[in-house]
Amino acid sequence: MLCHRFFSFSLLTAGFLLLLAASSTTAQCGRNTLGYGEVGIVANNPFHADVVVTRSGHPELRSPLVQRPLSVARDTQGRVRIERVGGEFKHDNGPETGSQVQEHTITICDPVAETLTRINTANATATIIHSRPSAPRSADLRSIIPRSFCSFRLASIRPGAHSQAEDLGTQIIEGVEAHGERATMPMLGPTSGEESRNGESTSELWCSDSLSALVLRITGNTRTGVQSTIAMQKIERTEPDPALFQIPADYAITESVARERRTPNPALTEQP
């Protein structure tokens, strides 16, 4: 049963993890990119940190359920690297047949080379996706994009007609000052209206302007009592190892160009 519950938790957090990993082949990483996942693309502001995802509050969980670990890093050039640890499996062919291996999926957004690189350590492969030549440029985007990564990221949860927003002020999280906002939205039943409310969902974000990154995200559901937390930990504001941003010499490499989006939303990827 615990295995099934873990699988359910993985599905619930998959949306965030996919956003964090920015794994879509349509992703753009260029000189005008605003942010990659939950990290801003800025130069001369290096750091590296762990990311821990937990879920608590479910009556069947005796203790908080922890997702497999992630790590993030940004170097002085503004390159952002996200690594996710996957499952373990055995090699079924080659000289290492039968040996146990743990999969690591690494994605690197490089605004200088204007590429998105995906590395799979389990099968020793790498894919380099080049930004499409028609990607919007900064001169076209100044009127629609916020001035900073955090202003954009916090604005993304500001409410619509049925929601409420709350400014949570600032606090120190893992050694950095972060500004928080919370959005609360009613969970409606089959019919609309106040009488059909069936609990509330909340989304709370804490973003650090000095770090240019989202350091804490908390989502809750009063109907089920379940709460999910995605938190940066062990933040080190030092230059990460340059080798982390390189493809190992013996990896098989393929290259392509990012596809055009059917419904482009440059505010998600481009920076003035």
Q: Strand, coil or helix: what is 27? A: coil
> Is 26 within the bounds of a domain?
yes
Quote the pLDDT of residue 88: 57
Domain that holds residue 204: 2-259
Q: Using 50 as the pLDDT threshold, list the residues of the chain that sit under it.
A: 1-26, 137-143, 146, 195-196, 262-272
> Is 266 within the bounds of a domain?
no
Q: Strand, coil or helix: what is 260? A: coil
Longest dimension (CA), the chain: 65
Quote the pLDDT of residue 253: 96
Predicted structure pTM score: 0.75
The DSSP element (H or E) to which 7 belongs, if any, is helix 2-21
> Is 143 within the bounds of a domain?
yes
Task: Give the chain's domain count.
Answer: 1
> Is 43 within the bounds of a domain?
yes
Quote the pLDDT of residue 237: 97
> Is 209 within the bounds of a domain?
yes
> Is 136 within the bounds of a domain?
yes
What separation in angstroms does the CA of 181 have from each of 56, 99, 211, 224?
21, 47, 17, 22
Find all residues with CB under 8 Å of 72, minimum gap 6, and list them.
20, 37, 38, 39, 48, 49, 51, 80, 81, 82, 83, 213, 232
Quote the pLDDT of residue 141: 45
Quote the pLDDT of residue 148: 86
> Is 271 within the bounds of a domain?
no
